[in-house]
A and B are shown apart, each in its own frame.
Chain A
Amino acid sequence: MTRAYSGRASEELTVDRLAREELATDDVRIHPDTLEHQAQVAEAHANPQLAANFRRAAELARVPDDQVMAMYEALRPHRSTGAELEDLARRLDDHEAPRCAALVREAASVYARRGLLA
């Protein structure tokens, strides 16, 4: 059985509940555990990179929309200093998002070498 981000079982996502206004945004949002499950499926189908992406996604699933968008913006070229990227990586650590944090730290090091920092 699949659960939505809210914890509601996917079987409960019915038109009747929609009509009774019982469904909220988090009821139609994917749960991190489901993304981990999809990562395992991807791994079993010869795509470890897709699996890694789903695992980063599982970490981001708990991060609010506006923060996700801000993090993306910070990673664009010439937006952030090395220190700012390190701050971002720490925030991701705080969100229990070590894979995303590692990606940001790797970016910071490559950006520094290639002149892509702010």
Chain B
Amino acid sequence: MDPLTTGTDAPRPVGRIRFMNEQRVNLDGFAHEDVELGLVALSSPADPEPSLVVRDGKVVEMDGRAAEDFDVLDAYIANHGIDLSVAEEAMALDDVTLARLFVDFAVPRDEVVRLVAGTTPAKLARVVAMLRPAELTIAMTKLRARRTPSNQAHVTNRLDDPLLLAADAATAAAYGFRELETTVPVLADAPSNAVAVTVGAAVGSPGVLVQCSVEEAMELEMGMRGLVSYAETVSLYGTESVFVDGDDTPYSKAFLSSAYASRGVKMRVSSGAGAEVLMGGAERCSMLYLESRCVSLARAMGVQGVQNGGIDGASVAGAVPAGVRELMAENVMVMARNLESCSGNDALMSESHVRRTSRTLPIMLAGSDFICSGFGSIQRYDNMFGPSQWNAEDLDDWLVMQRDWGIDGGLRTADPQDMERLRRRAAEAVRDVYAWLGLADFTDEHVELAVDAVGSKDLGDPDPMVVLGAAQAIRTSGLGSLEVARALLECGYHVEAERVLEMLVARVHGDHLQTAAIFDESMQVLSLVTDPNDYAGPGTGYEPTPARQREIHAIRQARGVEDLRKDQEGFASDALRVVGPAAPGSDPREVVVGVSPGVGRTVWRTLSGLLVVDVLRELLAGLEEEGCRPRVVRVNRTLDLGMVGLTAARLAGSGIGIGLQGKGTALIHRRDLPPLANLELYSVAPVVTPDLYRLLGSNAGRHAKGATPVPARNPYTDEAIEARYHTSVIALIALERSCVDPQAGPEELEVAP
């Protein structure tokens, strides 16, 4: 039932309400706060009072609970997670004082990190809950670990098609994503997906980290094999019951963390609001407090980073008051605990474009280690994690938003020609590698389909057993990335072989195991260690290099006057011919159509797409229908439409003139009116149709005959007409202005029939 109608007996609301009910935001679910269910964002009466009692170097009470009552999370945090050398000092600070340190430019990040290391989960949650949205943005700018922001993409498809995965991985890498996360609809396909995305990423860029998100044990196996270069799906939960339902404990997860590191594989954990609520185990606590437990635990376990900000539960947080604020506060807790933040903006949390933009924008502006912990770089229907907050259709929006604010959201424009080349190379590389390794054979036609595919629906209906067979062969043969690199080499993909090998060599060095590590395109590690965030107020911290700033500015849609000049030249013709200087007429039935200086020289097509010549033909036909004698002159002295129209009126025997600018704006003028006045005006050139121009012609004729015609109505539009055309208007005006000659008189033009 529509949540906005309360029952069949409810009176029908008025039109304004019915209209609002139909808007996209009302497809979202909104819940009353409900402490019993844990549907509460920042603070609940059941959240414990912060406390910490230490005796003989051991925590004997934490957040109101005695050691003998510690659950498995408390025990792990109390034993490993709190820096006892600073705990007394940190816990003694009142919440406001500590909160202010988060946003005070004069206090270095290191000092916040030092103090927060001594705080309990309840304490940190209370402090972060105090930060208002703008303060969270400042805190994030200051506290994130890595100076250079970055972004992560999902690369999946509903067929697990390796050629499409590779083409899409290359695409994502070309767009600038530094981590690619894949997963599977069919678990057994996982090794094949890992290989396909690894190869595709290597085609797109050096140094792209790749993961395949599956069940913990299988993900570990693939990591140890070297089939993936990082892991993220290591879930933490904020209560013991839900943690155990997830078939792990903090101890097993801590062991898992060490297992990844033991093979040189980067790893972070995942948590986030809403998970405990969805599993019915929130124990009446607020989302922020439960997440604070997860973040404390992450630090205690010794993992380098956390993916949070309500991942699968983002819409649960979004359903309650201040829930979106809570999501961002989660990320700030991670940063304050000196960990890498992979800051959500992952699962789609609203049907409303306004709302999802609102949720992401502050994080994008602040910058995060990974702004999205899964930007869906592919089609929504192909996203096997479910649709993301941002998807393939939003890539250009993201690039434009970066440019609008002059910030680094981690992405760049991929050249369209380059895109085809990369996609083909990626699809061919996977085909060749699979063939060479004896995993599967794919046809040329399949390659072509994958290169051009918008998504997997464009691939037809490939046999699912082929992928499954390849995946099983990879798993049973024990094949790893070393073999993949060698296969690439054997198949002639030298550059890609080198890139895959480089990622394996990186494991030997282990520098990317440090906090918030990514590789740049020259394989340099950027991390808390090598690229620490040094924000200390305006003029400090991350600033894109000039080259990166140019990349951010250079969206493919930007146009200049020269682009428009070329466009216009493409429509040039000999349909307008200069007859000679224009003199005043005396025939009372004569109406003059004045055109602006660029018409027939630099400007040939109006904003609506009509040729100027065709517009003139409509105007002339309208005048002739009224029995008038039309004449066309070009006004050379000015491009002002009022003056063009008035000049025409003064030349006309009837005293009535039509002014027409090359962009299509038109008016009717009379010789005795002031220049800025007019009888009728079509101001919205992009939507004027041939019929309307003809009507303007005949109305001008009626004015000439002394009648009072019914004015034509300007056509209606609800489009962002100015956003769409203002850049073209500026360029067209520049083209017109280049033809203005203040000394030149008007000249008569002949319009070819």
On A, residues with C-beta under 8 Å from B are 2-5, 10, 13-15, 18-19, 21, 23-25, 27-31, 34-35, 37-38, 41-42, 45-54, 56-61, 63, 65, 68-69, 71-73, 75-77, 100, 103-104, 106-107, 110-111, 114, 116
Contact = CB atoms under 8 A, between A and B. Distances in A.
Contact of A65 (B79, B224, B301): B224
A114 B72 contact: yes
A37 B514 CA distance: 11
Interface string B377-398: 0000000000000000000000
16 contacts: A15-B494, A18-B489, A28-B505, A29-B264, A30-B507, A41-B529, A45-B515, A45-B529, A47-B299, A47-B515, A51-B302, A54-B513, A56-B262, A68-B220, A103-B254, A116-B72
Contacts of B220: 68-69, 72
Contact of A73 (B80, B81, B217, B262): B217
B238 to A, nearest CB: 16
A103 B497 contact: no
A90 to B, nearest CB: 16
Interface in B243-259: 244, 247-249, 251-252, 254-259
A57 B110 CA distance: 26
A103 B515 CA distance: 23
Contacts of A38: 510-511, 513-514
Contacts of A10: 505, 508-509
Among the interface residues A25, A47, A65, which one has the most CB atoms of the partner chain B within 10 A? A47
B249 A41 contact: no
Contacts of A103: 251, 254-255
Contact of A28 (B216, B226, B258, B514): B226
B485 interface: yes
A53 B258 contact: yes
B263 to A, nearest CB: 7
Contacts of B507: 28-30
A interface majority secondary structure: helix
A88 B489 CA distance: 42
B480 interface: yes
Interface in B196-230: 216-217, 220-221, 224-226
Q: Which of B259, B501, B508 has the most CB of A within 10 A?
A: B508
Nearest to B528: A45
A77 B248 contact: yes
Contacts of A106: 79, 251
Given A41-B529, A60-B259, A75-B251, 17 more contacts: A5-B508, A15-B497, A21-B486, A25-B482, A30-B263, A34-B510, A38-B511, A42-B515, A46-B338, A47-B304, A49-B80, A49-B300, A57-B262, A60-B258, A60-B262, A104-B251, A106-B251
Interface string B64-99: 000000111001100111010000000000000000
B114 A46 contact: yes
B620 to A, nearest CB: 72
Interface residues of B, number: 67
Interface string B262-274: 1110000000000
A14 B485 CA distance: 11
A31 B509 CA distance: 9
Contacts of B81: 49
Contact of A57 (B114, B240, B261, B485): B261
Contacts of A2: 508-509
B725 to A, nearest CB: 53
B117 interface: yes
A57 B302 CA distance: 11
A13 B504 contact: yes
B249 A49 contact: no
A111 B244 CA distance: 11
Residue from A3, A50, A61 with most neighbouring chain B CB atoms (10 Å): A50
A57 B258 contact: yes
A56 B301 CA distance: 11
B224 A68 contact: yes
A24 B81 CA distance: 38
B303 to A, nearest CB: 7
A18 B514 contact: no
A41 to B, nearest CB: 6
A103 B508 CA distance: 26
Contact of B110 (A5, A28, A46, A49): A46
Nearest to A51: B302
A21 B482 CA distance: 10
Nearest to B69: A113
- 3 A-B pairs closest in CB distance: A53-B302, A57-B261, A107-B251
Contacts of A50: 302-304, 514-515
Nearest to A38: B510
Q: Which of A23, A24, A77 has the most CB of B within 10 A?
A: A77
Contacts of B510: 30, 34-35, 37-38
Contacts of B240: 114
Interface in B22-54: none
Interface in B565-616: none
A111 B249 contact: yes
Given A18-B485, A19-B489, A46-B113, A29 B263 contact: yes
A76 B220 CA distance: 14
B183 to A, nearest CB: 20
A45 B529 CA distance: 7
Q: Which of A56, A57, A61, A104 has the most CB of B within 10 A?
A: A57
B299 A63 contact: no
Interface in B466-498: 480-482, 485-486, 489, 494, 497-498
A110 B303 CA distance: 21
Contacts of B71: 114
A61 B258 CA distance: 9
Contacts of A116: 72, 244, 249
A104 B250 CA distance: 11
B338 A110 contact: no
Contacts of B514: 38, 41-42, 45, 50
Contacts of A73: 217
Contacts of A23: 482
Given A52-B302, A77-B247, A110-B72, A72 B264 contact: no
A113 B299 CA distance: 23
B274 to A, nearest CB: 22
B261 A31 contact: no
Nearest to B481: A28
Contacts of B301: 49, 53
A61 B508 contact: no
Contacts of A52: 80, 302
Contacts of A72: 216-217, 220, 252, 255-256, 259
A52 B247 CA distance: 24
B568 to A, nearest CB: 52
B255 A75 contact: yes
A77 to B, nearest CB: 5
B303 A53 contact: yes
A49 B514 CA distance: 12
A53 B261 contact: yes
Nearest to A4: B508
Nearest to A62: B262
Contacts of A31: 508
Contacts of B225: 65
A102 B327 CA distance: 36
Nearest to B83: A48
Interface string B491-533: 0001001100100110111110111000000000000110000
